[in-house]
């Protein structure tokens, strides 16, 4: 496929063998379990191509370890705030340890969905209309009036999700106004701020973007068809509950449009090395960007590994190239 990156340049055995890479996974977020799965998979893949990789949690033992024996590069397989809000990247910068993926500032921007959507819209990239409100605002102003207005303005159905967070946790589709308050309460259990978005029906598609040395390029879009219609936590992480089509069942023109939009989103947010852009392709074939992930899942049922496979690439060699490039930034 023309939009796919060329196979990564053969990472010479000696270069990769000399790399000492730390894979960070775990953390204290709701996605700890997912992160541990991602981390172990990354670890295995890196070792398979000869990288000396070790797995570590982001806990009090991390910084002493970085000081004692600084790795050549870090792979952040942490999901949730620690891995994605930019703060850990900022700390790694303080320790002069390079890492795969974008810098702290861009990570912070992409992690906060309302901020990211504002940047995307500014750049002319389609994203559904939205309102983002912290729960304090509801208590100050009264929930009923605000919720009524949101329904009036954005229309039904609505998508409610935490402004920060992933794996579909705390997210709900609201099809009638009466169920909006419950969705808000469910969402606020995960985050202080809720993003309420116009729900766009259509095909769920994820486009992974990789930069293996020739600039960012899109991998084949992956289409997501959850068995029960909702791509929730169970559908994401239970093999058999979702059918993935890689590449997505889109015509060439639509595929081109979708990948173009994904690349534009990656660039607009200032991302680096790798990202995953989640979109809806509506009935007219128009893409709408929902969110952009700077620390995409790497589990057995995650989208980036599927896309890498669909592109005819090897997961371990792609990672080997990414850590080699990161190490060169030191």
Partner 1 sequence: MTGTTLDDYTDRYARRVRGMTASEIRALFAVANRPEVVSLAGGAPYIAALPLDAVGEMLGRLGSEHGATTLQYGVGQGAPELRERICEVMSLSGIDASCGASPEDVVVTVGGQQALDLVARLFLDPGDVVLAEGPTYVGALGVFQAAQAQVAHVPMDDEGLIPEALEVAIADLARAGRRVKFLYTIPTYQNPAGVTLSEERRERVLDICERAGLLVVEDDPYGQLGFEGEAPRPLRARRREGVFYLSTFSKTFAPGLRVGWILAPHAVRDKLVIASEAQILCPSAYAQSAVSTYLGTMPWRQQLKVYREIYRERRDALLDAMADLMPEGTTWTRPQGGLFVWATLPDGLDSKAMMPRAVAARVAYVPGTGFYADGTGAGNMRLNFSFPTPERIREGVRRLAGVMEQEIAMRKVFGAVGGAGPRRRQGGSDAPGPDLA
Strand, coil or helix: 313: coil
Q: Binding of partner 1 at residue 225 (CB under 8 A)?
A: yes
Looking at 25, 36, 55, 133, which residue binds partner 1 (CB under 8 A)? 36
Structure tokens at 200: 């766009």
Matching residue, tokens 């084949």: 220
Q: Which of 237, 272, 273, 317 is catalytic?
A: 237
Tell me how far apart the alpha carbons of residues 325 and 63 are, in angstroms, rounded to a whole number. Answer: 23
Q: Which residue number, 69 or 300, has a Cβ lying nearer to partner 1?
A: 300
**How crowded is residue 296: how many other Cβ atoms within 10 Å of its Cβ?**
25
Question: Whole-number minimum distance, CB 205 to partner 1, in Å?
Answer: 13
For position 301 contacting partner 1 by CB under 8 A, the verdict is: yes
Binding to partner 1 by residue 230, rule CB under 8 A?
no
How far apart CA 187 and CA 133 sit, in angstroms, is: 11
Angle between helices 104-111 and 87-94 (to 10 degrees): 170
Cβ distance to partner 1 smaller for residue 160 or 200: 160
* Residue 184 is a binding residue for partner 1 (CB under 8 A): yes
Q: Does 236 sit near partner 1 (CB under 8 A)?
A: yes
192 Cβ neighbours under 8 A, 6+ residues apart: 134, 135, 136, 163
In angstroms, rounded to a whole number, what is the distance separating the alpha carbons of residues 217 and 221?
Answer: 12
Q: Is 254 among the residues that bind partner 1 (CB under 8 A)?
A: no
The only residue of 64, 124, 240, 284 in contact with partner 1, by rule CB under 8 A: 240
**CB-wise, 94 or 185, nearer to partner 1?**
185
Please tell me the distance from the alpha carbon of residue 265 to that of residue 122, in angstroms, as a whole number: 11
Binding site for partner 1 (CB under 8 A): 28-34, 36, 59, 135, 138-139, 143-144, 167, 169-170, 181-182, 184-186, 188-190, 223, 225, 233-234, 236-246, 249, 300-301, 306
């Amino acid at each position: 496929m023309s939009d796919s990156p060329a196979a990564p340049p053969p990472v010479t055995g000696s270069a990769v063998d000399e790399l000492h890479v730390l894979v960070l996974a775990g953390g204290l977020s709701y996605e700890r379990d997912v992160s541990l799965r991602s981390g172990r998979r990354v670890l295995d893949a890196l070792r398979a191509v000869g990288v000396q990789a070790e797995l570590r949690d982001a806990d009090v033992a991390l910084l002493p370890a970085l000081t004692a024996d600084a790795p050549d590069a870090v792979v952040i397989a942490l999901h949730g705030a620690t891995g994605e809000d930019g703060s850990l990247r900022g700390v790694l910068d303080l320790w002069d340890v390079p890492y795969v993926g974008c810098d702290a500032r861009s990570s912070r921007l992409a992690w906060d969905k309302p901020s990211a959507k504002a940047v995307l819209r500014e750049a002319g990239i389609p994203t559904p209309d939205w309102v983002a409100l912290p729960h304090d605002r509801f208590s100050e102003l009264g929930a009923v009036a605000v919720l009524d207005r949101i329904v009036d303005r954005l229309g039904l159905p609505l998508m409610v999700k935490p402004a920060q967070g992933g794996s579909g946790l705390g997210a709900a589709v609201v099809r009638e106004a009466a169920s909006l308050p419950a969705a808000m309460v469910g969402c606020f259990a995960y985050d202080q701020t809720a993003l309420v978005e116009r729900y766009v029906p259509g095909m769920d598609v994820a486009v992974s973007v990789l930069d293996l040395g020739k600039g960012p390029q899109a991998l084949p879009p992956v289409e997501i068809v959850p068995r029960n219609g909702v791509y929730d936590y169970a559908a994401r992480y239970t093999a058999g509950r979702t059918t993935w089509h890689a590449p997505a069942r889109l015509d060439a023109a639509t595929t081109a449009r979708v990948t173009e939009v994904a690349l534009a989103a990656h660039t607009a947010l200032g991302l680096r090395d790798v990202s995953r852009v989640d979109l809806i392709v509506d009935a007219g074939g128009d893409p709408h960007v929902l969110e952009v992930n700077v620390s995409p899942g790497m589990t057995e049922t995650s989208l980036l590994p599927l896309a890498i496979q669909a592109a005819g690439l090897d997961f371990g060699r792609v990672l080997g190239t990414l850590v080699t490039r990161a190490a060169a930034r030191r």
